[in-house]
Homo-oligomer: A and B are copies of this chain.
Amino acid sequence: MRKVAIVGVGMSRFGEEWTRGFRDMLIEAGSRALSDGGLHGEEIDGIYVGTMAPGSLVGQEHIGALVADSMGLTPTPATRVEAACASGGVALRSGYLAVASGMHDCVVVGGVEKMTDTPGEEVASALGGAGDQEWELFMGATFPAIYALMARRHMKDFGTTEEEMAAVAVKNHSNAAKNRYAHFQSEITLETVMKSKPIATPLKVFDCSPITDGAAVAVLMPLDKAKKCCEKPIEIVASAQASDALALHSRASLTEVKATKIAAKKAYEIAKLKPSDIDVAEVHDCFTIAEIMAIEDLGFVEKGMGGKATAEGKTALSSEISVNTSGGLKGCGHPVGATGVKQAVEIVWQLRGEAEARQVKKADMGLTHNVGGSGATAVVHIMKRGY
């Protein structure tokens, strides 16, 4: 298989974008990505787009063709992929495979979700489809409730505290405040999180990622070709994905995401790296407890120490491992299908040294980690400079 590089990236401003639709955001992110890579539409020969629930949220399916159509890229083959909140990561992996295999030479990978056109209850119901609809959502287990169970068990088994979880939100808001594309543009204090409204105890509103609109796009090419036509190609050195039971009650452990561990192990093997080689990582913090489990499952900290490490600043900008420099799902926002692609966009910016006020000092090796539902899908990518 061929080596693959990201040659252009772009995103729309994440937020509550009431005046802009699905297509507008995609066109904005796509135009920026093509322009960033110095590419023209005619060069694109494949499209993959990740989006979770456009059928329920905006009444539109057939999203691959929609992207090809609205970006003026027909008759390019266009495929939508879905793996709940990991849809963007799976789209990136699909694009990676299409280029690595030699089937396509220049692939647009998009991620998008339009969430704020829909009443809150319907959004919660649509998002519930990421879990086991029959055995979780139908019984009243929404996603905050499911992650609250995981948080409770993590607190019991490892002594993790609510303050440590809050520290994830404080860090990620601080990073988001340095990211002009982020949904939230202001820093918050530990007190703000601790005093915020309970959603599913112990999770409070500031432990939860927001409902966000947004799109992100990355353009992929074979590395050898990218080196000739592109100034700063970023090589994808590993792509790995794993599945697990859809329902939390079917899993062996409540305090780890097994699919993350399996995908990460495989990615490290492919890249011939260990967790300590990673400088900067975008991980899936749909809730603060999720980031704590992620940094443990990815091997950045010892099992059970994720909360403590975060509270001690070990995952802050330019520390041992810089986690969620974009602001993560918590601070940058979580337009579900866009998130996995946005993670790649942020890592590309960090590796290129273009991350503005949130640029980490040493950024040689980056990782993205995207989770679907409460852990039934996990996708891990590792990237480094290809120049």
A-side interface residues toward B, CB under 8 Å? 1, 21, 47, 52-56, 58-66, 68-69, 73-84, 90, 93-94, 97-98, 100-103, 125-126, 128-134, 137-138, 240-247, 250, 258-259, 262, 372-373, 376-377
Contact = CB atoms under 8 A, between A and B. Distances in A.
> Which residue, of A62, A97, A103, A134, has the highest number of chain B Cβ atoms within 10 A?
A62
Given A77-B241, A244-B74, A84 B62 contact: yes
A385 to B, nearest CB: 24
Contacts of A133: 58-60
Contacts of A21: 134
A103 B1 contact: yes
Contacts of A244: 65, 68-69, 74-75
Contact of A97 (B59, B98, B242, B258): B98
A334 to B, nearest CB: 15
B75 A258 contact: yes
A60 B372 CA distance: 13
A133 B242 CA distance: 33
A65 B60 CA distance: 22
Nearest to A78: B243
A246 B245 CA distance: 35
B101 A60 contact: no
Contacts of A100: 101, 103
A74 B243 contact: yes
18 contacts: A1-B101, A59-B128, A59-B133, A62-B84, A62-B131, A64-B82, A65-B243, A68-B244, A68-B376, A69-B243, A74-B243, A74-B244, A76-B242, A77-B240, A77-B242, A80-B82, A94-B94, A101-B103
Given A94-B79, A100-B101, A55 B242 contact: no
Contacts of A94: 79, 94
A61 B65 contact: no
A61 B69 contact: no
B55 A129 contact: yes
Contact of A81 (B81, B98, B373): B81
A80 to B, nearest CB: 5
B55 A377 contact: no
Given A75-B262, A94-B94, A129 B59 contact: yes
A63 B376 CA distance: 10
A241 B97 CA distance: 16
Nearest to A102: B1
> Which residue, of A82, A258, A262, has the highest number of chain B Cβ atoms within 10 A?
A82
Contacts of A376: 62, 65-66, 68-69
> Which residue, of A65, A79, A376, A377, has the highest number of chain B Cβ atoms within 10 A?
A65
Given A80-B81, A83-B80, A62 B1 contact: no
Given A59-B137, A137-B59, A244-B74, A64 B125 contact: no
A335 B79 CA distance: 19
A83 B101 contact: no
A209 B85 CA distance: 33
A124 B332 CA distance: 36
A281 to B, nearest CB: 21
B246 A69 contact: yes
